[in-house]
Chains A and B, each alone.
Chain A
Amino acid sequence: MTSVQDPPPQDVQLGGMQPPAQGGAQPSVEPASPARTVRQTGFMSTVAALLRKELLLELRTLESVPGMSLFAVSTFVVFHFALNRNSVEGDFAAGILWVTLLFAAMLGVNRLFVADADQGGFDAFLLAPVDRSAMFVAKVLALLGYLVVLELVAVAAFALLLLGSPLGPALPGLLVTIALGDIGVAVIGTLVAALAVRTRARDLLGPLLALPLFVPIVIGGARATSPLLVASHPAWPAVRWLLTLGLYDLVFGLIAFALFDFLLED
């Protein structure tokens, strides 16, 4: 996969990508190179470069997003048969939607760092003279992007296959709730993915760690969504749930941002 991965146009990553060749063969380049990179790489440009790499990789391999979307659609089918219902509303609808989104998100979370861990992306990044938190921000943004695409497919499929109430009037509230939930899922998902990826049982540990941490998101998300998905008079979600989601995003965003550096130290 490293061959697929194009070096971004800025020199940000290139400096870190082939360190052995550079350091070993041409020591004379050394003093010039870090100075140049340090000058070039603000935090945001590092994030942009990493995000670009992330999205390019996903575009070329199509490893995560199609799988997540397909999984979501299959889950709706499974729910149809498991619950023996042709259409759902209210609590049921909100629960099914959130459970499906979370499980589909877990697939993306599990794959988020696999390429970096297996193919030396971590090492290359650590050798580059850039802020390590940049990787966290880039990964969160990439995961957010995946989630948005997933939800475009999943919500549409949900409305088509299972939802008994009209989607139109519910859409603004649904957008706000899902956006708030997504931030939390992306933040915690990135932290958990980084935590689990270099363990022996990473496919098992990722979901085990993430699901309990996602419970407040399920509570906030499902409770906020259920009044939206009713046939008559969908109500705007209660502020309390949006606040819960917002608080969750804020607290865990800060915590994960502060702690992520420690996961990248070797």
Chain B
Amino acid sequence: MERSSQPQAGLIKRGSRARGETPAYSKGLRTLSISTVIAMAVSLSLVFFYAPLEAEQGFLQKIFYLHVPLAIVALCGFVLGGLLAIAHLRTRDPRWDYRSYVVIHMSLIFAVGTLITGSIWAKGSWGHWWVWSEPTLVSFLIVFLLYATYQPLRFAIEDPERQARYASVFAITAGAFVPLNFIAVRLSTAYLHPRVLGSTSNLPGSMALTFLVSLAAMSLLFATLCKYELTAKHTRAQVRALRRRLEGQAEARRAPRSAAPSLQHVTAMTAAPPPGGRTTGQR
């Protein structure tokens, strides 16, 4: 499509230092991945072999160690996306927008996980797939519905610079909405239904430890996935830029329209093609 590639030419950011260097995105990725795998393994073994069975709910309660960390990480991710968007609006550096996009995107996926695990838990302990009396779950649904419009909003704006700016405005508003919405929904149910589960203060020590380790593992997983996505998108943009250099502008038409921030003005358009690079086999 012509129009998606059109504006990049005007927006080439010369700030990228990559001329044959490895971009900063993939730095530390291996360490992060390995520590995530270890942390997940430790947390899962704690969940299944160390944490005691809960008296009332039995085995089902184990989903607590998955559901609650997922929810916390997703919410923190949404707020973090808003903070990154503030950085974008202050500096006008498209890389902040790009990070904000990836964080919100990943939080959205975690939010889907939260809703599904929450539903399963509700079915198991209350007998219904959906319970309106659980304020956290309800707030989460509202937040999820709000953030579900993030990608359509991006997708509906063609100019990449404006897309980034509008997305940041949305991310900041929505980030502020998250805590406020929780207050409102909590208020609307708090006095009707006392909360049974979900606060860490009254957990026995072994459960609290397991929970904290699970939370740490989940945060690591979030960070790793975000970093993978950043790296992958960055690499793909670099490859595309290299291809374009190899084939002239003919390839430029193939850049698809997408809700993701266009990376062409972030990555090195000037990156030198690797020696003996892929000159054949395209198309």
Contacts and interface: CB of A to CB of B under 8 A. Distances in A.
A32 interface: no
Interface in A231-266: 240-241, 244, 247-248, 251-252, 255-256, 259, 262-263, 265-266
B187 A263 contact: no
B142 interface: yes
B172 A263 contact: no
A210 B169 CA distance: 14
Contacts of B152: 201, 204-205, 208
A216 B185 CA distance: 7
Nearest to A259: B169
A198 B75 CA distance: 29
B148 to A, nearest CB: 8
A134 to B, nearest CB: 18
A106 B205 CA distance: 50
Interface in A121-169: none
A88 interface: no
A205 B181 contact: no
B188 A223 contact: yes
Contact of B173 (A196, A201, A213, A223): A213
Nearest to A200: B156
A215 B142 contact: yes
Interface string A190-221: 01000110111110110011011101100110
Contacts of A204: 152
A135 to B, nearest CB: 15
B2 interface: no
B232 interface: no
A3 B144 CA distance: 44
A195 B167 CA distance: 9
Nearest to A223: B188
Given A247-B180, A251-B176, A251-B180, A212 B166 contact: no
Contacts of B159: 266
Given A219-B188, A262-B168, A198 B162 contact: yes
B157 interface: yes
B146 interface: yes
B165 A262 contact: yes
Interface string B154-185: 00111101100110111011101100110111
Interface in B54-105: 89
A200 B172 contact: no
A208 B180 contact: no
B153 interface: yes
Contacts of B166: 195, 199, 263
B-side interface size class: 20 to 34
B149 interface: yes
A22 B65 CA distance: 67
Contacts of B149: 205, 208-209, 212
A265 B170 CA distance: 15
A175 to B, nearest CB: 22
B89 A244 contact: no
A254 B233 CA distance: 35
B170 A199 contact: no
Identify the interface centre among B142, B153, B183, B188: most chain A CB within 10 Å of its CB: B188
B216 to A, nearest CB: 30
Nearest to B170: A195
A68 B30 CA distance: 58
Contacts of B153: 195-196, 199, 205, 209
A252 B181 CA distance: 12
B261 to A, nearest CB: 16
B173 A259 contact: yes
Contacts of B180: 216, 247-248, 251-252
B145 interface: yes
A199 B156 contact: yes
Nearest to B149: A208
A263 B169 contact: yes
B178 to A, nearest CB: 11
Interface in B107-162: 142-143, 145-146, 149, 152-153, 156-159, 161-162
Given A240-B187, A244-B187, A252-B177, 4 more contacts: A195-B170, A208-B149, A247-B180, A251-B176
7 contacts: A196-B153, A198-B162, A205-B152, A208-B149, A211-B145, A213-B173, A265-B165
Interface of B: 89, 142-143, 145-146, 149, 152-153, 156-159, 161-162, 165-166, 168-170, 172-174, 176-177, 180-181, 183-185, 187-188
Closest 10 CB pairs of A and B: A199-B156, A212-B146, A216-B184, A200-B156, A212-B145, A208-B149, A201-B156, A259-B169, A219-B188, A219-B184
